[in-house]
Structure formats: structure tokens, C-alpha cells
Amino acid sequence: MDFPLLDQINYPDDLRRLRQDQLYTLSKELREFILTTVSNTGGHLASNLGSIELSIALHYVYNTPHDLLVWDVGHQSYSHKILTGRKNQMGSLRQYDGLAGFPKRDESPYDTFGVGHSSTSISAALGMAIANKQKGKPNKTVAIIGDGSMTAGLAFEGLNNAGWLDSDILVILNDNEMSISENVGAISRYFSKILAGRFYNSVKSTANIALSLIPSVQKIASKVEEHVKGMVMPSTFFEEFGFNYIGPIDGHDIDELVDTLSRIKELSGPQFLHIVTKKGQGYKLAENNPIGYHGVTKFNPNEGMMGTKAVSNLTYTQVFGKWLCDMAKTETDFIAITPAMREGSGMVEFAKAYPDKFFDVGIAEQHAITFAAGAATQGIKPIVAIYSTFLQRGYDQLVHDVAIQNLPVMFAIDRAGIVGADGPTHIGTFDYSFMRCIPNLILMAPSNEDECYQMLWTAYKTNSPCAVRYPRATGNGSIINEKMQLLTIGKGEVTRQGTKIAILSFGTMLDIGIQVANTIEATLCNMRFIKPLDTDLIKEIALNHDYIVTLEENVVMGGAGSACNEALQEFGILKPVLNLGVHDDFPPHGDQKTLMKTEGLDVDGILLAIKKRFGDA
């Protein structure tokens, strides 16, 4: 496929040599290039298709990388990567040793801040602006944030501080009325119905058509517009933060973007530009289904995602979604909460069937947990569905608001362990460590689909803080017993009896553990609970075996293996122990199979580690 203009662009300096009227052609080529690339690699599609004109305009107007662009989350930064020297590497996107799916500082000087979680851009950009002011540097600083990310408190903490400091910073609100799922909350309604509402835009459109017949009057009217629009929409919302508010403007109109950014570049003090874009712009299938095309696997652009191959076994996410709907048929005193992860947490069907019990609180993990804690004080069982990597953001609330008060909040923790292509920002390998140290909390991890189903029921019926932790993965095909059963808290099971070596497996490492145990004739235990730990089983195993191996898809430091070591010390039992898990590092992006291998957590890696430690035992 030919891209005559894009082929000439390797860095922003090349872009800035183009005439402004060539930028529309470039945007079309860039949109086709991204669609072709992402359909071959997988990745974030709809959000990137919606931010192409903005990326072009920013690098056209600002002297990057001296002027600093800070992307929020990074779901919309592919065109930024392409324009900043990485065009020829896009075929390696999100693959091991390839380009990261998000901005990454050690990948390019144009990536000013590493991101992956939402709502960090304003705070980071403010820090950069203040630092450069201290050093006497004239750099311009721009934070690009989506309206979905504006549902998080951190964004408003940054806005509040930036306005107070009267810093030279531009915040661009990319308003497409979407994050991953539809946006929720009063702030989202504010943006959607007022700032970018149909009334304002329809009035503006009608006026422009009429005034286009009288050019001189149109020119005057455009100057008056900034004053008049205040009567239509309360831009004072941001002005009260100390920002000069401009917009909303069409985020797909490059001329308007370039002209507006050029004017803003000459201004001092906090500036706020509101642009309106369409997620999936230019690709009808993504425009019509922006949620489905937010994150995609490989697909044929002509056929769309309908052509993707279905997976026969259930994912753990689907198990949770099924359990939630099944449980709701008999239970009444509960609510289900998610911080903007309805699709990702498998809650779509539940939300449709039980809308009065479903609460999407937006990208607000801290609020989600304290909201749940409040509900728990009134006799309602809250179920918080959250990703492992996002639970980190609510850690204080987990400790302070839930655990200290010993409130029966249930956590369904998805995306645990090595997640894969999204890389270090989304990895879920710390939750065993940061949760097992919290008093009153029960933590369990299933080895298959049925065990996950029963653990969820057990957690629901437990009258204390309780968490079920499972991976972003397909199960092994275990048949679910829909007659829900309570597991005995803190009890594991021996699944294979061996002789000298005993393997203590946590969570879905059991399938790999079975292969290892069969190879070396080892005893294999499915531990099930990280806290409380089955210390009786550990003691029995230690007394009847020469060597112990622990397996977990969590960092070794402070993890489940460490808990086993502590138990052995309590008993005064000295046995050679090998703790295997994720190294003291952040695994890079790549497919899960490759990353498990690099961490030594595949069958060959585990067998090699056992041989090195215990010889031919």
C-alpha cells in the first residue's frame, strides 16, 4: 500500500516542512496505516483512529521534543509514535522486544512520561512545567487527556494545583464521550450535554451556514463567538480552576486545530483547550462499535472483528460474569461495582439483566472501594470487580476503609499475574504480596474454572474482606458445577502423591505444576488459599518430603512462597525450599507464553531450576 506523504515523514521536523493544506492528506494516509498495522498486530484501535488529526497538529505546531507532550493512558498515542521515528517498527507493536503499546521514556525522547493508567497527564505535565521554569527553560508543556480520564480525582487534583500555581501549561481535553466503556457520572454528563452539547453545536453550525453568505459578518461573528458561547455553556467550570478555557472545537478539523494551537502557544498561564472527536473516526465498524474496537486482536479490516475465531473454553472473566448472573437469581442483598471496566470484567450481561444492582463508578478506583465499604456497613454485600493493576490505586482504601473495619467487601480481581501485551503498567504480579500482609483479609486463587466459580461463591458468603484472584486467560476446560458449594477457608488439597520433592502450587500454576510433577515423580498440592495459608498441609508435606518447591505467578518477594517459608520457620522445620515466581523486575510487553518462559515459569524453566537447586533428587 502506498503512502506518498507519510513515507516522507520520519520525525516531526519532516512534518513541519509540509504545507498546512497537505495535512489532510497526511491524516488520511496515517489513518489507513494505523488500521492496516493494528489489524495485523492487535492493539488499541478506536481511540487511535480518533486522535490522528490532534497528533499531527501538535507535532506541527510545537517544537517537539523540546516542547513536551504528555499523553494520558496512551491508548491514543500510535500516530504520535509513527510521527516520531517509529513508523517502521509498528509491525512489532506490543510484541516481545518490539514497540510498547503505550508511551515509554526509554523508547523515545518524544515519550516524555511513561503511562498506562489513566489521569496522570496533568500532574506529570505540571511537574515538568514547574521543573523547567526552575531551570529557566522556555519549553512548552501540553497534557492530552480524554474525557473518560476526567472521571478520576487525580485529574482534578492536577487541575487544582496547576491553576493555583499559575503555570504555563496547556491541558487538551479530547472529548469523545468514551473511555473504554461509555463514560458515567455527573462530570461526563456535563461534558456531553453542555460543553459539547447538540444545542451549542447546532446553533454554531446553523449560524456558520447563514453567515458564510456574508463573509465580513462571519469574520466579526467568529471573534464575538468566544464571548457569546459563555451564555450557552458554563466554561467557568474550568475558569474557576484558574484556566483560560477555549472551545469546544472540532478535533478532526486540522486547520482549526493548527490555528488554535498556534494562538495558544503564544499565551502564558494555564490554558484549557476542549476538542470534540469521534472514537473510531474514519473506520465505520469502529465508529459504530467503539467499545468492541477499543482493544482488538488480529483481524481482517474488510471483515471486521466478526471474523475472529471463537475460543471454546471459558475465560476466567467469563466465569465471573456467569457466576454473577447465576448468583443474582437467588441473592438479593448485594451490589456489583466496577471502576469503568464493565466489558473487561465480564459484567455486560449482568448490567443488562440487573441494572439496579450494577454500578460503574468511572475511572475512580479509590471511590469504588470506599463506596463499597459504605454499602457494606448497611447490610449490603458489595462485589468489586477490578483489575489487579488498578487495585494498586485503591490500596489505602483497601486497608483503611475495608480491612480496618473488617467489612465484608468481596473483590473479584481480574488480570492477575503476567498479563502480556499491555506490558509493565498492566502487570498483576504484586497482589499476593501487597494483600497477604493486610489483617482480616482472605485471599484465594483458583486453579481452574470450576474452582473459580466455587471460590466466588465462598467469598460472597464470607463475612469479612475477601478476594478471589484470577488471570486474564482461558481456563483448562474444567466443567463448572453450577450447584454452588462452599470451600473450607484456608484448606488446600494434594492432587498428586510423590516421594522426595513436593510442589506447592498457587492459582493457575497448577496445570504447569502437574506436568513438572509427573516428570520428576513429585507430590503436587493445590494450595488454593494464600491467606489464610494451609499451614497444616505445609507441615505435613515438610515432614514427609526432602525438598519443597513453591510456584506462583506473582513476584517472589513477599509472595505466596514467602508465606510458606514463614510457616516453616514457625514450625522450626528446616528444609531446602525453592521459591519460583516472577523475578524482581517488571516483565516487558509480549505474549504471555514468551514472558512465562523468560521468567523461568514454563515447564522447562521450572525443571531446570529444580535440577540446579536440588540436583537429581
CA distance 192 to 189: 5
Phi-psi region of 536 (alpha: psi -120 to 50; beta: other; left: phi over 0): alpha
Greatest alpha-carbon span in the chain = 94
Strands 43-44 and 295-296: antiparallel
Q: How far is CA 255 from CA 142, 244, 366, in A?
A: 19, 21, 40
Side-by-side strand order, sheet with 381-387? 358-360, 334-338, 381-387, 410-416, 466-471, 442-444, 529-531
Nearest one of 126, 80, 73, 123 to 99, comparing CA atoms: 80
Catalytic residue among 104, 140, 279, 436: 279
Is residue 382 reached through a cis peptide bond, with omega within 30 degrees of 0 on the bond before it? no
- Kind and range of the H or E element at 200? helix 198-211
Catalytic residue among 29, 365, 449, 451: 365
Residue 393 known to be catalytic: yes
CA distance 275 to 173: 6
CA distance 26 to 502: 61
Three cell numbers written together for 142: 501540553
The tally of CA atoms less than 13 A away on the side-chain side of residue 566 is 14
Residue 365 known to be catalytic: yes
Q: How far is CA 33 from CA 1, 254, 295, in A?
A: 9, 18, 17
Helices 254-265, 52-61: axis angle to 10 degrees equals 40
Contact, 52 vs 27, CB < 8 A?
Answer: yes
Residue 222: how many CB atoms within 10 A of its CB?
12
Catalytic residue among 31, 94, 357, 393: 393
Catalytic residues: 279, 365, 393
